[in-house]
Amino acid sequence: MPETFNEMIDGGQVRPAYQSLERWQNEMPADLRQMKQSEAEALFRRVGITFAVYGEGGDPERLIPFDMFPRVFTAGEWRKLERGIRQRAAALNAFLADVYDQREIIRAGKIPEHLVTHNEAFERAVVGMRPPRNVWSHIVGVDLVRTGPDQFYVLEDNCRTPSGVSYMLQNREIMMRMFPHLFVENRIAPVDGYADALRHTLASVAPKKCDGDPTVVILTPGQFNSAYYEHSFLADLMGVELVEGQDLFVEGDFCWMRTTEGPKKVDVIYRRIDDAFLDPLCFRPDSMLGVPGLMNVYRSGGVSICSAPGAGVADDKAIYTFVPDMIRFYLGEAPILENVPTWQCAKPDECKYVLEHLSELVVKEVHGSGGYGMLVGPKADQSQIEAFRHKITEKPWNYIAQPTLALSACPTFVEEGVAPRHVDLRPYCLVGERIELVPGGLTRVALNEGSLVVNSSQGGGVKDTWVLAE
Amino acid sequence: MLSRTASHLYWMARYIERAETTARLLQMGARNALLPDIGGGFRNDWEAVLQALGQLEAFREKYGDPVQRNVETFLFFDASNPASVMSCFSAARENGRVVRTALTSQVWDAINTTFQEMQALHRMERSKLIVNELADWTLRSGALIRGAIESTQLRNDGFRFMGLGHSIERGDNTARLLDVKYYVLLPSLSYVGSALDQSQWATLLRSMHAHRAFVWTYKGEITAAKIAHLLILNRQFPRSLLSATQATVDHLDALARGYGITPKATSLARGHLGELAEAHVEDIFDEGLHQFLLRFMGRNGEIAQAVQSSYLVGVPE
Amino acid sequence: MKLSVSHVTRYVFETPVTRLIQSHRLTPSRCANQRVISWEVNMLKAVRGAAFRDGAGDWTETVSVDGPLDAFEIEVTGEIETEDFAGVLRDHREKVPPSAYLTPTARTWPSQPLRELAEDTLAPLDGRPAIERAHALSNAVADAVEYVPGETESLTTAAEALEGGKGVCQDQTHVLMAVAQMSGVPARYVTGYLFSAMPDHISEASHAWAELYVDDLGWVGFDPSNRVCPDDRYIRLGSGYDSQDAAPIRGVVSGGAGERLDVSVKVRDIAASEQQQQ
């Protein structure tokens, strides 16, 4: 495997961005560190920032481990990332607007038609629709990894309802509370404008039929959802109602919310439930989480749904390969951020290569998420590799493969002190009237030594992510 | 405010109040059981307690005869008994958890801590738990939560729905506690005015933490008329039916003012308050205490029903 | 042909429901094959709204009623003039690309016997025109699944219907869609009405057939139940991925219990009945 880039150290020297943190770490006695760590944990528990993992037994309200060592980006590094992410978010939205309308990118031969239309995430129900401002994915989460000082790769795009932003906000809150002096010593760009920006983004895509201040709500599957905390946290920060399907109903041309003052019209729904459950009259008839008739109101312009149903067709792992082409096609620009080279097992010659190099590659399910159903070749034993060989041969179209990247590592508190651990990054890009990005994101860290899997369900933790001001 | 949010706040408050009632009944039963058996009719005072909670059938099915130890378990820890302290506090916390953002952190802390302590008690060996202490703990926890609500919650509609939950449930509960006397006395009216009768009334007062209030307000010996006056008609006593109904009306008035709409629940409650305010103890005994209490609970239930349909389903009638 | 339609759907609830909401696709498609003379959908007490023409060209309308409600009736009446284009759907404006109809649903999910049926039918026709292959598939389905009411249920899948060898128009349509999609031919479920030559004959309910996308011709209807392509006896309402997705009425009720459904459909030849009266 190629050598790991350590974000704190370059050529044996501590990089300037990390200098004050290095002092801080060296000066912190072990017992104080212990104390601070438990203080952080208590704070997380107190605010209730837990996530649920089902079917694994144990405490259903688990904490995601929080690592106190922040990850730092310089202003220069961030500028490039920011431009690249905005560009990607714009292109993904242009793609969605196109594939549900004229399909010019397909006509131009840039993307094979079947990858788009013969795709479970493609919604016939929204073909021909033009949502307000023609925005389809209002919150784009772009997962990035770094392999060198200037080398970033996009791992995947999340165009539906990327989660985790509450950790970005809470990690910062807790760091500021516990180590205020670090924020005096370093000029760290604030992230707490996110809630206002999100509210503004959502309000800016209210339907034409809405006059006056739009009523925005967050639609949650309910308290048993693993991200329920985040839903209620965001609702609270934005000052909007957190609703369940049962709180809404459709009558006439609009969707209404049941309130103590009677029905109140809802204009924008930031939904945190999947397309299939949105409306039993349009999708799964057995859905109890959705609102019967909602899609009809949406399609006739009575309410906005964020992200738009059908937006998932843009973040499919098979479509991912074509995002650089989208950027060139719609924006006429060169892609700023690179994709990880990807082999499509659906293509026989690429599949052959993958099967011959399983021990070197990372193999993922096209529709999988959360680090499940994936093979990390260099870390796998022979039986795991054989199991995947079988799976890929059975359903080649269901898999893609990528080289095992040497993910960068950041200093992380571990039992013995501080040691480098692999990290990734998910910034959250808002698309409405404007494209906005708060300077920061969620850094996930693989806490186990050598591990490349940063998912919280599999031993991953989180870190505060700093962007230094100029 | 979202109807479902209002509904969770309302029910959270009702369950907290209900947990306290169960604890009070437990205290009352334990104390009554120390008094000599009056014989006949109900075989013991525990039956009266279970009857007042409407849980006698359910208890019999599960445990058979009402033995104190079983009744204690049933009333305190039994998750299958919806009126047990454990069920009530769990339900209160569950309701609160769903609407966390509508609660101050102090209120949530108080509820959550109560729940954690409850689970710790549940894990303890039963023989180490004393029924009076359990009941005291319950009342203390309830007071802590109510205090947190009173002192930290914004006086908005959410506060009013919690208030309504408390006052409606409290009215119902005082009526039920008072009614236990009816069940205990059922076998024979000849005990009226006897020493036993006296001590039962005293127990009732104690369980409502009203013994001192009674002594200071009414002086002299305990009579049914005085007790009825205290628990039904005394505006100074916070758990009296009149006080509870007044609180219900106050909360409903505040809501009606805030929303600019006066729904059915408000007029219903005002009517009920008007009647209650004009009642006299003699009329109540003429009607029969039990009949009166049944009627009160019916009216109180109607108001609860109207609150439900006016505010908690989101589409006014 | 001039046809008149009277379609009454009546729900009766043993315990009244508190609310009912439905999505209707009860208005004829706009295409050269048919021209509406008059068309009405009538209901009592219902609030109508959220109406639009979707990407597949279907007119959709939302209807809700607040209860308590112990019965609900939808009455569709209209007159329409139809023309025979040998099954070809003409001048039907739609935006959904045909390739979107290659994705199977739970009801049209592939199975080995379905695959064999498709392969056995098409193997001898390699290189033949697409329309000929489509006809062959439709006929093969009609042979493999006999029209027998009462043998299948509304949730029966294509695979199950083929295995049982019996079914109604819904099942035959699903099987045809499945074998078409497996052969790379986009296929969709179409609902509508069918005029039967017997005067005053009451058909079982609304009819259903499949449309297959044939290069050069576009969408072409195939009705395996009657072994024909839809002609001027057919009235087209809407289409979808399967019987559930294309259903002319999709609804949800709150509360209540014991729903009973009565449907009556009458399609008459206006010219013939006028002659009779004279």
CB contact under 8 A, B98 and A223: yes
Nearest chain A residue to B261 by CA: give it: A261
Nearest chain A residue to B316 by CA: give it: A262
A119 contact residues in C (CB cutoff 8 A): 103
Count Cβ–Cβ pairs < 8 Å, chain A vs chain C. Answer: 101
- Whether B177 is in a domain gets the answer yes
- Whether B291 is in a domain gets the answer yes
Q: Model's pTM, two decimal places?
A: 0.89
CB contact under 8 A, C97 and A280: no
Say if residue A352 is in the same domain as residue A456.
Answer: no
Q: Which residues contact A53 (CB under 8 A, 6 or more apart)?
A: A60, A62, A226, A457
DSSP calls for chain B: -BHHHHHHHHHHHHHHHHHHHHHHHHHHHHHHTTSPP--SSSSSHHHHHHHHHT-HHHHHHHHSS--HHHHHHHHHT-TTSTTSHHHHHHHHHHHHHHTGGGS-HHHHHHHHHHHHHHHHHHHS-GGG--HHHHHHHHHHHHHHHHHHHHHHS-SSHHHHHHHHHHHHHHHHHHHHHHHHHHHHHTT-GGGTTSHHHHHHHHHHHHHTT-HHHHHHHH-SS--HHHHHIIIII-TTSTTSHHHHHHHHHHHHHHHHHHHT---HHHHHHHHHHHHHHH--HHHHHHH-HHHHHHHHHHHHHHHHHHHIIIIISSS--
- Whether B127 is in a domain gets the answer yes
The domain in which residue B37 lies consists of: 3-312
Which amino acid belongs to residue A348? P
Residue C270 burial (10 A CB sphere; 0-12, 13-18, 19+): middle
The residue out of A403, A428, A445 marking a domain boundary is A403
Nearest chain C residue to A124 by CA: give it: C96
Distance from CA of B164 to the nearest CA of A (A): 14
A285 contact residues in C (CB cutoff 8 A): 244, 250
Whether residue C237 has pLDDT greater than 80: yes
The token duo for C153 is 């249920």
Say if residue A40 is in the same domain as residue A184.
Answer: yes
Rg, C-alpha atoms of chain B: 19
**How would residue C198 be classed by pLDDT, with cut points 50, 70 and 90?**
low
- Whether B279 is in a domain gets the answer yes
Whether residue B187 has pLDDT greater than 50: no
Here the contacts of C257-262 (C-beta below 8 Å, separation 24 or greater) are C257/C13, C257/C14, C257/C15, C258/C13, C258/C14, C258/C15, C259/C11, C259/C12, C259/C13, C259/C14, C260/C11, C260/C12, C260/C13, C260/C14, C261/C9, C261/C10, C261/C11, C261/C12, C262/C8, C262/C9, C262/C10, C262/C12
- pLDDT tens-digit profile of A222-249? 988 888 889 989 999 999 999 999 999 9
For the segment B23-38, the average pLDDT, to the nearest whole number, is 76
* pLDDT at residue number A273: 95
- Whether A294 is in a domain gets the answer no
- pLDDT tens-digit profile of C264-273? 999 988 887 7
Whether residue B208 has pLDDT greater than 70: yes
* pLDDT at residue number A432: 96
* pLDDT at residue number A59: 52
* pLDDT at residue number A429: 97
Look at chain B and report how many structural domains it folds into. Answer: 1
Whether residue B44 has pLDDT greater than 90: no
Whether residue A108 has pLDDT greater than 60: yes
- Whether A280 is in a domain gets the answer no
Say if residue A366 is in the same domain as residue A441.
Answer: no
B313 contact residues in A (CB cutoff 8 A): 258
Say if residue A347 is in the same domain as residue A316.
Answer: no
First to last CA, chain B: 17
- pLDDT tens-digit profile of C75-134? 999 999 999 999 999 999 999 999 999 999 999 999 999 999 999 999 999 989 999 999
ipTM: 0.93
Rounded Cα–Cα distance for residues A161 and A320 (Å): 17
Rounded Cα–Cα distance for residues A243 and B132 (Å): 42
Q: How many residues are recorded in chain C?
A: 278
The domain in which residue A412 lies consists of: 9-207+303-336+406-467
How far, rounded to the nearest angstrom, does the alpha carbon of residue C14 sit from its chain's CA centroid?
A: 29
Average pLDDT, chain A: 90
Whether residue C165 lies within 8 A of chain A, CB to CB, comes out as no
Rounded Cα–Cα distance for residues C122 and C183 (Å): 8
CB contact under 8 A, A122 and C100: yes
Give the neighbor-by-neighbor strand order of the sheet with A361-365.
Answer: A343-344, A399-403, A361-365, A374-376
- Which of A48, A233, A258 faces B315 most closely, judged by CB atoms? A258
- pLDDT tens-digit profile of C27-76? 999 999 999 999 999 998 899 989 999 999 999 999 999 989 999 999 99
- pLDDT tens-digit profile of B221-263? 888 888 889 999 999 999 999 999 999 999 999 999 999 999 9
Q: Are C189 and C224 in contact (CB under 8 A)?
A: no
* pLDDT at residue number B36: 64
List the chains bordering chain A where 3 or more Cβ pairs fall under 8 Å. B, C
List the chains bordering chain C where 3 or more Cβ pairs fall under 8 Å. A
Look at chain A and report how many structural domains it folds into. Answer: 2
φ/ψ of residue A181, rounded to 5: -65, -30
CB contact under 8 A, A260 and B97: no
Distance from CA of B141 to the nearest CA of A (A): 19
Whether residue B27 has pLDDT greater than 50: yes
The token duo for B102 is 């509508």
Say if residue A424 is in the same domain as residue A321.
Answer: yes
Q: Which residue do the tokens 């992230």 mark?
A: A191
A118 contact residues in C (CB cutoff 8 A): 99-100, 102-103
The token duo for A468 is 């230094």
B7 contact residues in A (CB cutoff 8 A): none
* pLDDT at residue number A57: 43
Residue among A282, A279, A323, A299 nearest A159 (CA): A323
Q: Which residues contact A238 (CB under 8 A, 6 or more apart)?
A: A195, A196, A198, A199, A202, A216, A218
Whether residue A330 has pLDDT greater than 50: yes
Out of A23-32, A132-141, A159-168, give the one with best mean pLDDT: A132-141
Say if residue A356 is in the same domain as residue A330.
Answer: no
- Whether A411 is in a domain gets the answer yes
CB contact under 8 A, B314 and A247: yes
Distance from CA of A233 to the nearest CA of B (A): 8
Whether residue A56 has pLDDT greater than 50: no
Rounded Cα–Cα distance for residues C57 and B152 (Å): 57
Nearest chain B residue to A242 by CA: give it: B2
Whether residue B317 has pLDDT greater than 70: no
Q: Are A32 and A26 in contact (CB under 8 A)?
A: no
Residue ranges of the alpha helices (H) in A278-322? 294-299, 317-320
- Whether B317 is in a domain gets the answer no
CB contact under 8 A, A127 and C56: yes
For the segment B58-77, the average pLDDT, to the nearest whole number, is 88
Q: Which residue do the tokens 């006016």 mark?
A: B310
User: Where is A63: in which H helix or E strand?
Assistant: none
Pick among A300, A305, A313 to test the C interface (most C CBs inside 10 A)? A300
For the segment A262-282, the average pLDDT, to the nearest whole number, is 96
CB contact under 8 A, A296 and C60: yes
Q: Which domains does chain C have, with CATH numbers?
A: 2-277 (3.10.620.30)
Percent of chain B with pLDDT over 90: 53
CB contact under 8 A, A127 and C96: yes
Say if residue A81 is in the same domain as residue A141.
Answer: yes
Nearest chain B residue to A233 by CA: give it: B101
The residue out of A403, A420, A444 marking a domain boundary is A403
The token duo for C129 is 């025109």
C95 contact residues in A (CB cutoff 8 A): 101, 127-128
Say if residue A355 is in the same domain as residue A369.
Answer: yes
Residue among A366, A464, A138, A370 nearest A272 (CA): A138
**How would residue A329 be classed by pLDDT, with cut points 50, 70 and 90?**
very high
C102 contact residues in A (CB cutoff 8 A): 114, 117-118
Rounded Cα–Cα distance for residues B200 and A374 (Å): 71
Among the residue ranges A264-273, A345-354, B133-142, C267-276, the one predicted with the least confidence is C267-276
List the chains bordering chain B where 3 or more Cβ pairs fall under 8 Å. A
The token duo for A240 is 């909007």
- Which of C55, C61, C251 faces A124 most closely, judged by CB atoms? C55
Distance from CA of A426 to the nearest CA of C (A): 32
B105 contact residues in A (CB cutoff 8 A): 46
Residue among B229, B254, C51, C31 nearest A299 (CA): C51
CB contact under 8 A, A235 and B259: no
The residue out of A403, A434, A450 marking a domain boundary is A403
Say if residue A369 is in the same domain as residue A451.
Answer: no
Residue among B101, B66, B62, B76 nearest B19 (CA): B76
Say if residue A137 is in the same domain as residue A77.
Answer: yes
Among the residue ranges A53-67, A369-383, B83-97, C111-125, the one predicted with the least confidence is A53-67
- pLDDT tens-digit profile of B300-309? 999 999 999 9
Pick among A208, A251, A305 to test the C interface (most C CBs inside 10 A)? A251
- Which of A233, A235, A260 faces B1 most closely, judged by CB atoms? A260
Nearest chain C residue to A246 by CA: give it: C254
- Which of C48, C55, C99 faces A118 most closely, judged by CB atoms? C99
- Whether B126 is in a domain gets the answer yes
CB contact under 8 A, A241 and B5: yes
- Whether A239 is in a domain gets the answer no
* pLDDT at residue number B175: 92
Bond before A307 cis per omega within 30 degrees = yes
Say if residue A347 is in the same domain as residue A203.
Answer: no
- pLDDT tens-digit profile of B133-165? 899 999 999 999 999 999 999 999 999 999 999
Say if residue A351 is in the same domain as residue A459.
Answer: no
* pLDDT at residue number A58: 46
Average pLDDT, chain B: 87
Three-state SS at A451: coil
Interface of C with A in 99-158 (CB under 8 A): 99-100, 102-103
- Whether A391 is in a domain gets the answer yes
Task: Please report, to the nearest 10 degrees, the dihedral formed by the alpha carbons of residues A251, A255, A256, A257 taken in order.
Answer: 140
Percent of chain B with pLDDT over 70: 91
Distance from CA of A444 to the nearest CA of B (A): 27
- pLDDT tens-digit profile of C246-261? 999 999 999 888 889 9
- Whether B120 is in a domain gets the answer yes
The token duo for B68 is 């104190």
- Whether A274 is in a domain gets the answer no
Whether residue C54 lies within 8 A of chain A, CB to CB, comes out as yes
CB contact under 8 A, B3 and A259: yes
CATH number at residue A352: 3.30.1490.270
CB contact under 8 A, A258 and B313: yes
Whether residue C51 lies within 8 A of chain A, CB to CB, comes out as yes
* pLDDT at residue number B92: 96
Pick among A99, A106, A117 to test the C interface (most C CBs inside 10 A)? A117
C103 contact residues in A (CB cutoff 8 A): 118-120, 122
Pick among A260, A264, A265, A289 to test the B interface (most B CBs inside 10 A)? A260
Higher pLDDT, B51 or A75: A75
- Whether B45 is in a domain gets the answer yes
Among the residue ranges B194-198, C45-49, C141-145, C174-178, the one predicted with the least confidence is B194-198
Distance from CA of A292 to the nearest CA of B (A): 17
Whether residue C55 lies within 8 A of chain A, CB to CB, comes out as yes
How far, rounded to the nearest angstrom, does the alpha carbon of residue C157 sit from its chain's CA centroid?
A: 16
Nearest chain C residue to A303 by CA: give it: C50
Whether residue C60 lies within 8 A of chain A, CB to CB, comes out as yes
Q: Which residue do the tokens 């390739």 mark?
A: C99
Whether residue A103 has pLDDT greater than 90: yes
Q: Which residue do the tokens 């009677």 mark?
A: A262
DSSP calls for C102-155: GS--GGG---HHHHHHHHHHHGGGTTS-HHHHHHHHHHHHHHHSEE-TTSS-TT
* pLDDT at residue number C201: 46
